[in-house]
């Protein structure tokens, strides 16, 4: 990837938008700790999220050790196993993926890609990060209180979550509630910023229909998160009342060791409705930014415009809207009117239509493209495979009659890990390899990146693919051990051991990634401003890495969409968004078509 990025694009006259006043602190603390610069906040979000994600990764390895080699590790008892399950799920979904896609990538990319100097409300943005950090610390503290973290499962279903006998009933569950509430408050502050910045702070010429799909994905995911997180907050508040004040929102009449619990008439189903009203959109909150980022990586590294841009935008919007009317497909076995089941199965399967449109468009973008097999591209293509695999098993589970026997088996675990764990994480890696040169000014090592990709990609299949077969065999999920179970054959145990070894290998290869990340920061090849020859605005900044304020004296003016690669009739291989039509050199060799 030689340094072709040095084309000179004339900056157009200053925009009519008032330049915002930026806070320029002088001290180290002000610049890097209490920073109001979206890029620094993005790095803070990213580092915190990855750090907490590593904790969740270690928890998953502990679970795999128990499953693969039962009764070998004295450290893991049934209660702590349930705690690992719960914390792994909650951390990965909320504290890693949501925070990483929206907090880290959102903060870094929204102002740069929209051509803004910073977020609309920088102070609120800073506050958002500190709330997030507090939420993470509260969550971590729950490991150290008496009784440890909660073991209620990431769904925190009552009555179990707040009934005696569940691990973490003493303090862990309270800290979980506190942490989630702080997270939601912090996210609301950040989310307001992302939405308002996209709507208000775009530079001249950056119409909505010229936004890179990354921004569309992050924008729609933020809107969904802002509307869905209140459901979780309400549910938490009500459960807190049940637990501390003795109300009966969710808690039914219960006998515990012969004693009345004091609750009566509460409805656990009500909680499930509220939880999944948040929980299902949450899946797409994680997926939509990934969709957007993949679209941009594919177009850039295949040197082709994204196929069906408007369709892609509308697919993102329609997926977002539909994801609010499918929540009850998580409750097919909770007991519901069969007509509701039918309704929710239908809406669930309808989501496959816009999703399939996106997959076709990605593949058609690759079709006859000038594909450069860079590391980000490998991860993006790996995402398409994994997402399709995970999506197809979703069609099984979306049908009530198929879901009933498969519910609570490893089939479900395999499905959602493929579709919303491995697939988005592949995008996270791809995005880090893609934007690292802009963030640090240096390239990450290619060979190490490819080793990282192949082991991660194939390794995750080795872990999660067999889970589908275990699910068909009826192996239940969340169990610490199977004991003397007649219907589970011994071969399942062999398979479990194999999956555990694969999981350990995949976890270890992440060390290669971290080594690459740190080493490249000091010794990586100089990247130049635009190593991938990309069109979007973040690659056209005056400095790399961009300084506070992002652009030079004047904001860029946008003349075209983000996907002018290999434009017929143009001599240049790519036309940056801020390149005026006059600057495009005609390619005399090719017959000129209308631009």
Partner 1 sequence: MSMTVSLVFLAVLMAVFGGWLFSYSFRVRPWEAQAAGSRQVQGLGGGQVPPAATAPRVGLAVFLAVVTSLFALTISAYLMRQEMAHDWHPLAVPGVLWWNTVCLVLGSVALQLAWRAARHEQPTWLLRGLLAGGGLTIAFILGQALAWRQLQAAGHYLAANPANAFFFLLTALHAAHLLGGLFVWSRCLFRLQQGATPGAMRQSVELCALYWHFLLLVWAILFVLLLRT
Q: Is 233 in the site for partner 1 (CB under 8 A)?
A: yes
Choose between 85 and 322: whose C-beta lies nearer to partner 1.
Answer: 322
Helix (H) or strand (E) holding 444: none
Site string (526-565) toward partner 1, x via CB under 8 A: -------------------------------xxxxx-xx-
Task: Tell me which H or E stretch contains 240.
Answer: helix 213-244
DSSP 297-354: HHHHHHTSPPTTHHHHHHHHHHHHHHGGG-GGGG-GGG---HHHHHHHHHHHHHHHHH
Among 405, 552, 568, 581, binds partner 1 (CB under 8 A): 581
Supply the minimum distance, in Å, between the C-beta of residue 153 and partner 1.
21
Binding to partner 1 (CB under 8 A) within 27-46 occurs at: none
254 is a contact residue toward partner 1 (CB under 8 A): no
- Using CA atoms, how far apart are residues 48 and 471, in angstroms rounded to an integer? 34
CB 71 within 8 A of CB 467: no
Assign 3-state DSSP to the chain and report helix, strand, coil percentages, each to 5: 65, 0, 35
Instruction: Decide if 280 contacts 201 (C-beta within 8 A).
Output: no
Nearer Cβ to partner 1, position 284 or 559?
A: 559
Q: Which of 23, 54, 79, 196 binds partner 1 (CB under 8 A)?
A: 196
Q: Binding partner 1 by CB under 8 A: which of 65, 127, 134, 317?
A: 317
Under rule CB under 8 A, residue 331 binds partner 1:
no
What does each C-alpha distance from 326 to 287, 322, 331, 409 come to in angstroms? 15, 7, 10, 21
What residues numbered 338-397 form the site for partner 1, per CB under 8 A? 340
Distance (Å, rounded) from C-alpha 369 to C-alpha 373? 11
Answer for which of 62, 201, 288, 290 binds partner 1 (CB under 8 A) is 201
Contacting range for partner 1; rule: CB under 8 A; set: 206-214, 364-372, 454-462, 517-525: 206-214
Q: Is 264 in the site for partner 1 (CB under 8 A)?
A: yes
Q: What distance in Å separates the CA atoms of residue 480 and residue 81, rounded to the nearest whole number? A: 6
**Counting contacts by CB under 8 A, is residue 12 touching partner 1?**
yes
As measured in angstroms, the least distance from the Cβ of 343 to partner 1 is 10
Among 16, 490, 585, 588, binds partner 1 (CB under 8 A): 16
With respect to partner 1, which residue has the nearer C-beta, 90 or 555?
555
Q: Out of 208, 508, 511, 518, name the contact with partner 1 by CB under 8 A.
A: 208
Which two three-digit tokens encode residue 330? 């998580």
- Applying CB under 8 A, among 34, 69, 130, 324 the residue interacting with partner 1 is 324
Instruction: Choose which of 84, 121, 183, 480 interacts with partner 1 (CB under 8 A).
Output: 121
Q: Which is nearer to partner 1, 545 or 569 (CB)?
A: 569
569 part of the interface to partner 1, by CB under 8 A: no
Antiparallel, parallel or unpaired: β 259-260 and 255-256: antiparallel
Q: Which two tokens stand for residue 195?
A: 């939405």
Q: Does 307 bind partner 1 (CB under 8 A)?
A: no
User: Phi and psi for 260 in degrees, rounded to 5?
Assistant: -65, 135
| The two three-digit tokens of residue 553, written as one number | 């004296």
CB 388 to partner 1: min, Å: 26
188 binds partner 1 (CB under 8 A): yes
Nearer to partner 1, 120 or 422 (CB): 120
**Which one among 288, 313, 366, 427 touches partner 1, defined by CB under 8 A?**
313
Q: What does the DSSP assignment read for 340-383?
A: HHHHHHHHHHHHHHHHHHHHHHHHHHHTT------HHHHHHHHH
Q: Which of 24, 5, 204, 225 is nearest to 106 (CA)?
A: 225
Residue 447 CB-density burial (10 A; 0-12 exposed, 13-18 middle, 19+ buried): exposed
User: Pick from 445, 436, 444: which is nearest to 538 by CA?
Assistant: 436
Q: Footprint of partner 1 on this chain (CB under 8 A)?
A: 12, 15-17, 120-121, 188, 191-192, 195-196, 199-201, 203-205, 207-210, 223, 226-228, 230-231, 233-234, 237-238, 241, 245-249, 262, 264-267, 269-270, 273-274, 277, 305, 309-310, 313-314, 317, 321, 324-325, 340, 557-561, 563-564, 575, 580-582, 584, 595
């Amino acid at each position: 990837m030689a340094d072709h990025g040095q084309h000179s694009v004339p900056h157009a006259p200053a925009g009519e938008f008032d330049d915002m006043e930026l806070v320029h602190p002088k001290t180290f603390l002000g610049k890097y700790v209490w920073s109001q610069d979206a890029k620094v906040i993005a790095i803070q979000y990213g580092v915190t999220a990855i750090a907490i994600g590593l904790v969740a990764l270690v928890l998953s390895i502990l679970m795999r050790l128990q499953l693969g080699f039962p009764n070998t590790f004295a450290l893991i008892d049934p209660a702590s196993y349930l705690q690992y399950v719960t914390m792994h799920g909650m951390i990965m979904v909320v504290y890693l993926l949501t925070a990483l896609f929206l907090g880290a990538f959102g903060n870094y990319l929204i102002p740069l890609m929209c051509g803004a100097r910073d977020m609309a409300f920088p102070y609120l943005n800073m506050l958002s990060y500190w709330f997030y950090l507090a939420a993470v610390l509260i969550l971590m503290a729950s490991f150290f209180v008496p009784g440890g973290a909660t073991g209620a499962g990431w769904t925190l279903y009552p009555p179990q979550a707040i009934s005696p006998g569940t691990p973490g009933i003493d303090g862990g569950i309270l800290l979980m509630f506190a942490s989630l509430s702080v997270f939601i408050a912090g996210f609301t502050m950040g989310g307001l910023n992302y939405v308002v910045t996209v709507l208000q702070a775009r530079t001249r010429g950056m119409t909505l229909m010229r936004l890179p799909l990354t921004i569309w994905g992050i924008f729609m995911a933020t809107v969904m998160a802002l509307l869905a997180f209140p459901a979780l907050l309400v549910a938490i508040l009500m459960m807190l009342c049940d637990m501390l004040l003795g109300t009966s929102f969710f808690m039914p009449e219960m006998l515990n060791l012969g004693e009345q619990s004091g609750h009566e008439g509460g409805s656990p189903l009500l909680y499930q409705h509220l939880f999944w009203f948040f929980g299902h959109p949450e899946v797409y909150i994680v997926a939509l930014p990934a969709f957007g980022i993949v679209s941009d990586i594919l177009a850039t590294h295949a040197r082709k415009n994204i196929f069906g841009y408007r369709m892609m935008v509308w697919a993102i919007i329609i997926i977002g809207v539909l994801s609010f009317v499918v929540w009850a497909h998580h409750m097919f076995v909770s007991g519901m009117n069969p007509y509701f089941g039918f309704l929710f199965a239908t809406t669930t399967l309808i989501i496959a239509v816009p999703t399939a449109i996106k997959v076709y468009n990605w593949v058609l973008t690759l079709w006859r493209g000038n594909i450069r097999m860079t590391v980000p591209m490998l991860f993006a293509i790996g995402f398409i495979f994994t997402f399709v695999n995970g999506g197809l098993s979703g069609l099984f589970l979306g049908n009530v009659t198929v879901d009933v026997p498969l519910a609570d088996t490893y089939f479900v675990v395999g499905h959602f890990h493929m579709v919303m764990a491995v697939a988005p994480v592949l995008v996270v890696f791809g995005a880090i390899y893609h934007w690292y040169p802009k963030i640090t000014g240096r390239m990450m090592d290619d060979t190490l990146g490819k080793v990282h990709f192949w082991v991660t990609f194939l390794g995750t299949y080795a872990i999660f693919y067999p889970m589908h077969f275990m699910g068909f065999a009826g192996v239940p999920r969340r169990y610490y051990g199977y004991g003397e179970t007649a219907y589970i054959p011994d071969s399942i145990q062999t398979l479990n051991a194999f999956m555990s070894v694969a999981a350990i290998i995949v976890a270890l290869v992440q060390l290669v990634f971290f080594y690459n990340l740190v080493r490249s920061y000091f010794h990586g090849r100089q990247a130049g401003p635009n190593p991938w020859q990309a069109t979007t605005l973040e690659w056209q900044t005056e400095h790399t890495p961009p300084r506070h304020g992002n652009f030079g004296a004047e904001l860029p003016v946008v003349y075209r969409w983000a996907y002018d690669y290999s434009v017929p009739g143009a001599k240049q291989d790519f036309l940056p968004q801020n390149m005026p039509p006059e600057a495009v050199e005609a390619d005399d060799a090719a017959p000129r078509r209308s631009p």
